[in-house]
Amino acid sequence: MQSNRGNTLIPRYANRYLVGLLWAVVLGVSFWAYFPGIDGSYMLDDSHSLAKLSHLGLAPSDALTYILSDSSGFLGRPISIASFVLEQSYFGTTPATSKTINIFLHIVNANLVMWLFAILLRFRGTPKYKALAVACASIWLLAPLSVSTVLYSVQRMAMLAAFFSLSSCILYSLWRSYSIRLSPVLLVAILITLFFCGIYSKENAVVMLFFFVILEVFWFRDSTLTDRYYALGKLRFSLLFAGIVIVLVAVLYALWAWAEPGYVKRPFTMEQRLFTQSRVLWDYVGQFYIPDVRRMGLFHDDIEVSSSVLAPKSTLYSLVGWTSVLTVLGVLIRHQVVRLMAFCILFFLLGHAVESTVLSLEMYYEHRNYLPSVGLALLPAVIFRSLVIRWPELGSVLLAWIIIWAFYFVFKTSSQVIIWSSPPLLDVHNVTMHPGSFRANVSMADRLAKVGAISDSFEYSARAHAASLRGNAITPETNADWLVRDLVLGCVASATLPEAPLSELSKVGGSYPVSSVRTMHLLARVHGLEQCPGPRWDKLSELFYALYLGRNAQSNAPRDVFRLLAVIENQREDYQLALEYTERYLALSPASPAGLLMKLHFERALGNDEAVDETIRALLDLNETGGLRDSELRILSLYTSIIR
């Protein structure tokens, strides 16, 4: 290790306090920059995960059920949901509370990033490592790319996953750099705990395993273990990590096969996604280092999908770019500086392994960079280290430049936060900067409908429809979905179900006319809230009947569309139709407790006692196999007690 060259003008202890003061200022400024963002609203996936929170009862069993029943990810993300439930219990869930907690969590994570950097840089004998760790962590903390994580309530999931991943990396690095003394068993136990906490916050935390590998292989590789841990030995470590690598490759292979069916619902193939991601990753890099905040936003579904290596040509350049980077790293890997750079670059790439590879997720989201960008923030520190070890006189000036860079980020982030703090402004920003985005146009149409601008709302709705047909990153929207959306918009804007889309809807047909559950959900909602009562609902009911239940009906729909049609008919007190839609729903999902409970309700309303008994039996059977939640069981018991 190299000794640090102390500043001769300032005593060493003063230097330490100066670094501490600088970090305190950075944290304060970052909080100040983010704070106006708490005025923003819930958006996009927030409604899915957080909307039900306000209805949550006080009973602990309800909370536990809610925590364990989220369907956001593969593992249900109970830790993240628990954080929302706790938030609801103590503060009551409002967007402002969620966002404030996210801001604090971001600051906590920044402290972890700074700590990790300090450990890593000190281990590698970096001059001025504390100041450097502060400067580079400031870049990460203040990067405008993180705004769409911090101010997007539900992305607390990504933040918590990052929290546990960073904690585990810190623990491993502390142990590996002999800064703490832990028995290997305890270490492994804590790491496993953190790993599970991470993946139960969001599945991305699985990349933690990759991080241990690259930490060992690229950062701590040439550091021998002390006698105390000699039992593990260098060889055994190599074997252990070789094993982990093999397991990871196997997992990836399995994922490939497992992920492929998911592409059925996407307008692109797995190959096209991978090609596109090569471009997207470069774009993330650019947006991290030289942010163009005007392009940033919530929606990027207007991105051009790479249909082949040459379409668009930037795909080829991106692939060549990544290949070149990895080749250069591979060829020069024996040099320590290259190894450390490789660590940073691989941290970024492996951090994206879950969301930017084979899984059939959407193409582009800024929040996917929250954890991976830690690698990008460390890269300047590695370059700094190599330069300053050779030329110590560069230390202060390079630090000054990094701090100027962070300062430049402050203003970029603050302006982005102001846009995110105003829901209408964010909608306008999204649609202005991404006019080809389906989602941005839909969001704008909703916004305009809410302020009563019906024709403009229809205009944006039409643009959204056209964008969905034109783009290839999202599934093309059906005409019927567009028309149903226009019905909702018209209802919200003018308190009347509009005539034009209704007439148009009578002309649609085909095997899958309505496919958007979200739009149908909104239709059921406006009907339930009686936002636009009137006789046109009868006509709409007839139209849907003709489409799905009539004598010549041949159309199908996602099961939840039938459930929502049943809800609408229930609200209209046409229980026979509601029952028929429920039957269609149950045909697609026979063991659905919600479907069976609905059926029970409608059969009882129609006085079909036999059918009621049969349905109760089916539900009780389901309960015996643990298929009913507490809340569902309570509803069932209500019916059975009424019947008794």
Partner 1 sequence: MRIETIALFVNYAFLTALLLLTALAYYFGLPGAFLFDDLTNLTLNPYLNFDVSKLDAWRTASFSSDAGLLRRPISMFTFALNFAVADGLYPAQVKAVNVGLHLINGILLYFLAVEIQLAAYQKDISDGAVKAVAVVATGIWLLHPLHISTVMYSVQRMAQLSTLFVLVGLLVYFRYRARWSVAGYKTLGELSAALLWLSILFMLAILSKENGALLPWLIAVSELCLFRGRWSGRPSRLVQRIGVVAFTAPIVFLLFILFFSPDYILPGYDNRDFTISERLFTQSRLLWTYLYWLVFPDIRSFGLHHDDIAISRSLVDPMSTLAAICAWVVCLFLVFKYRKRYRLIWYALLFYLVAHSMESGVIALEMVYEHRNYLPSIALVIPAAAILVTTGRFIGGRLKYVPAAIVIVTFFCLLAVRAVTWSDELILGQASVKQHPQSPRSHFFYAVALQNEYFRKVANGTLGDLEGEALAGSMRSHLISMYKLDKADIAALVMLQQIEARYFPGYKGAYDWLEELERIVGKRALASSDYAALSVLVDCAIAGTCGETAKTDLRQILGNLIDKYPNDRKLLLAQYKYLAGIGDRAARSAVLSKLARLYPQWPVIHYHMIQENMLSNNVGGMYDNVSAWLATDARRQQVHLLEGLFINAEQSR
Residues that bind partner 1 (CB under 8 A): 29, 32-33, 36, 293-294, 387, 390-394, 396-398, 400-401, 404, 410-411, 414-415, 417-419, 421-422, 424-425, 428-429, 431-433, 444, 447-448, 451-453, 455-457, 459
CB of 418 to partner 1, least distance (A): 5
Residue among 36 and 73 whose Cβ is closer to partner 1: 36
Cβ atoms of 93 and 53 within 8 Å: the answer is: yes
Least distance between partner 1 and beta carbon 424 (Å): 4
If the CB atoms of residues 93 and 443 are measured against partner 1, the closer one turns out to be 443
Question: In angstroms, what is the minimal distance from the CB of 292 to partner 1?
Answer: 10
| Shortest Cβ 24–partner 1 spacing (Å) | 16
Contact between 622 and 587 under an 8 Å Cβ cutoff? The reply is no
Distance of CA 552 to the CA centre of its chain: 43
Contact 473, 440 (CB under 8 A): no
Q: Enter the DSSP assignment of 303.
A: P
Whole-number minimum distance, CB 601 to partner 1, in Å? Answer: 39
The H or E element containing residue 91 is: none
CB of 423 within 8 A of CB of 444? no
Question: What residue type is 76 in one-letter code?
Answer: G
Nearer to partner 1, 418 or 633 (CB): 418
Q: Which is nearer to partner 1, 17 or 391 (CB)?
A: 391
Q: Would you list the DSSP string of 367-389? A: GGGTTTHHHHHHHHHHHHHHHHH
Shortest distance in whole angstroms from residue 493 CB to partner 1: 10
Structure tokens at 86: 């706790």
CB of 427 to partner 1, least distance (A): 8
CA-closest candidate to residue 27, choices 159, 131, 147, 141 = 141
Closer CB to partner 1, residue 17 or residue 32?
32
Assigned token pair, 76:
């249900």
**Smallest distance, Å, CB 46 to partner 1?**
20
Nearer to partner 1, 369 or 413 (CB): 413
Q: Whole-angstrom distance between the N-terminal and C-terminal Cα of the chain? A: 81
Are 145 and 287 in contact, with CB atoms under 8 Å apart? yes
Contact between 170 and 112 (Cβ < 8 Å): yes
In terms of CB distance, is 314 or 415 closer to partner 1?
A: 415
Pick between residue 357 and residue 457 the one whose CB is nearest to partner 1: 457
The β-bridge partners of 311 are: 308
DSSP assignment letter at 306: -
With a CB cutoff of 8 Å and minimum separation 6, the contacts of 292 are 286
Distance CA 361, CA 39 (A): 29
Q: How far is CA 60 from the centre of its chain?
A: 27
Select 398 or 508, whichever has its Cβ closest to partner 1: 398
Q: Shortest approach of partner 1 to residue 453 CB, angstroms?
A: 4
